[in-house]
Amino acid sequence: MGDGALRVAEALAQSTGATVRAVTWLPKSCSLDGDVSIETFLASVTQQLYRTTKMLGFWRLELLVGNIPKHLARLCATESASVVILPETSHVGLIGPRWTLRTGIPAAYVDSHPHGEDHIVLCACSDSESQRRAHAIAALLTAARTTGLTGRRRRIKLPSPYVQVQPLHHRAVFGTPGTSANFSSNNLSVAAS
């Protein structure tokens, strides 16, 4: 599900030296007495990481349980994350634009297509500082994509635009205390679920 998000995070980490934290959470079908055991789920996430990235030594896998948006916001604040990279399906799930408005941390939603032709929608707050950071992150993501594919393929066919920055206008008044985004090219988080 999150292969595209993992590919984007790997390319960004390779081109900038950013630290990546892989994050996942349990699906509703996964529980001690559910359809899928927790161990089976974690094994599938581990297999996904091995299948998708060559940078496993740099990635720590964090399992979130309970209030996922709250715990992800806390983890991002602790790690001083600059961006969260998620599969596009998360946009309508637990982590969406409302989460970005609450935390101020841009969220890059990767819409994966066959043959690695991914497209990214980067949601960020609409204030000028957030937009400046979002456009800087978009430039890094585009450069990472170009650099990451140059060695694998001779011809680079980038969808146009590869990264679309979407400003979010209504700043929530019920923000999560203690969560703020610090812009640094050395920290980012990615969800593999």
Residue-wise pLDDT for 40-74, tens only, equals 888 888 888 888 888 766 678 888 888 889 999 99
Average confidence (pLDDT) over 14-33: 79
Using omega within 30 degrees of 0 as the cis cutoff, is the peptide bond preceding 167 cis? no
Structure tokens at 80: 């001083």
Look at residue 159 and give its three-state secondary structure. Answer: coil
Pairing between strand 119-125 and 107-111? antiparallel
Is residue 177 scored above 50 in pLDDT? no
In the structure, what pLDDT confidence band is assigned to residue 115 with cuts at 50, 70 and 90? Answer: low
Q: Any bridge partners for residue 122, and if so which?
A: 108, 165
Average confidence (pLDDT) over 108-133: 84
- C-alpha angle with apex 166: 164 to 168, nearest 5 degrees? 170
Is residue 91 scored above 60 in pLDDT? no
Look at residue 147 and give its three-state secondary structure. Answer: helix
50 vs 57, 145, 169, CA distance in Å?
Answer: 11, 20, 38
In the structure, what pLDDT confidence band is assigned to residue 179 with cuts at 50, 70 and 90? Answer: very low
Q: Compute the mean pLDDT over every residue in the chain, rounded to the nearest whole number.
A: 75
Q: Is the Cβ–Cβ distance between 3 and 190 less than 8 Å?
A: no
Greatest pairwise CA separation for the chain in angstroms: 49
Q: Determine which helix (DSSP H) or strand (DSSP E) holds 111, and give its type and residue range.
A: strand 107-111
